[in-house]
Amino acid sequence: MKIKRSGRKGNVNQKPIRDTYLPYGRQWIDDDDIEAVVEVLKGDFLTTGPLVSTFEESIATYVGAKYAVCFANGTAALHGACFAAGITQGDEVITSPLTFAASANCILYQGGIPVFADIDEKTYNIDPKEIEKRITPKTKAIIPIDFTGQPAYLDEINELAKKHNLVVIEDAAHALGATYKGKKIGSISDMSMFSFHPVKHITTGEGGIITTNNKGYYEKLLQFRTHGISRDPSKLINNHGPWYYEMQFLGFNYRLSDIQAALGISQLQKIDQFIGRRKIYADMYDKSFREIPQIITPYQHSHGVSSWHLYIIQLDLAMLSGSRLEIYEALQGHNIGVNVHYLPVYLLPYYQELGYQQGHCPKAEQLYEKIITLPLFPAMTENDVDDVIQAVKKIITFYSK
């Protein structure tokens, strides 16, 4: 890819810095992971079996929660949490616009109404003051996002929830291993969701989980992921015998398999190593970009420690002669697999058809126009990080006014 600029000599991508493409995120699978999966394939359980429970217990222990329930993916887990919270037709749920669509879609699945509250300009997380402005008698829950791996303002959010009798469903898809005031994310809110998509901290291929300290939520989540079916003799309306089960409400087939759980168990044993590498690489980026006036590096609030799912730079476009698109394409031209996270959810065509309008969350919209996500994943090398740094510096210099 070659980018030409009128009025300039030379080309920003005359010779690509990298010969091979570096994605923004990628899984790290080793021989131990492969052996764990093969062992299951040789055994009796391929779908939900004993390893699912083992994985749930391992995640619960890791984050310090009493219970954990696996789901087929993070979206299914959020759907289950919305069901367990009792969200139903016409209920309002407040969430951030700066997130993947699933954080709001899960509300719609239950007939609820997503209400978007603007972000804090520093952390990019949902602003508790904006949440408070949007609470009405119809509000049932809050879904804060731990964006990029940095915890949201959980004290303020949980205080608001307690004051207004709301449920907090923390979308911690980015934040496995992060801490908030010394406590692991996953042990603080009413329910927390983690994703095990391949670009996340650990992977099960596809997969998600809800952690909670509430036994009632735990039991609802278990039943919801299996069609609403119960085999518990103490909960059956009728009991025809040991083979008998009842579908007691409309649930879904959202189960995780033992194949996936085996991979997750193996991956979890390496999570400290994975997060440690992410922090090293994020620190390398910080040190390299902090003194470049055209770049705003991520702000880290003292309330929490990020687990660094994403590293996002913000461009000061007033100091650059090129657009965000031109800089993005120039980086791609150097085989640097940058991305953009995210277009505010309510600007997606489906949400526009529902009546959401541009301008609803101006800070999120303004931020979207200026951000670029750089590659960050543990299977990178320091040489990979140096390539990214070199490419960013070269392109920013080229487009500087």
Kindly list the catalytic residues: 200
Task: Evaluate whether 261 touches 70 at the Cβ level (below 8 Å).
Answer: yes
Please report which helix (H) or strand (E) contains residue 353, including its range: helix 349-353
Residues 215, 220, 225, 229, Cα dihedral to 10°: 120
Helix (H, G, I), strand (E, B) or coil at 194: strand
Q: How far apart are CA 295 and CA 274, in angstroms?
A: 26
Q: How far apart are CA 284 and CA 263, in angstroms?
A: 30
Strands, sheet with 183-184, edge to edge from the N-terminal-most edge strand: 183-184, 179-180, 304-305
User: DSSP secondary-structure letter at 225?
Assistant: T
Task: Evaluate whether 179 touches 302 at the Cβ level (below 8 Å).
Answer: no
In angstroms, what CA-CA distances link 186 with 62, 98, 212, 306, 389? 9, 20, 7, 13, 33
Phi, psi torsion values for 129, nearest 5 degrees: -65, -35
What does 118-182 look like in DSSP terms, one character per residue?
A: PBPTTT-SBPHHHHHHT--TTEEEEE-B-GGG----HHHHHHHHHHHT-EEEEE-TT-TT-EETT
16 contacts: CB under 8 Å, gap ≥ 6: 333, 334, 335
Q: How far apart are CA 328 and CA 252, in angstroms?
A: 40
At 338, list the tokens.
């940058």
Q: How far apart are CA 227 and CA 95, in angstroms?
A: 27
Please report which helix (H) or strand (E) contains residue 63, including its range: helix 50-63
Report the candidate in 305, 289, 265 with the shortest Cα–Cα distance to residue 385. 289
Task: Evaluate whether 310 touches 178 at the Cβ level (below 8 Å).
Answer: no
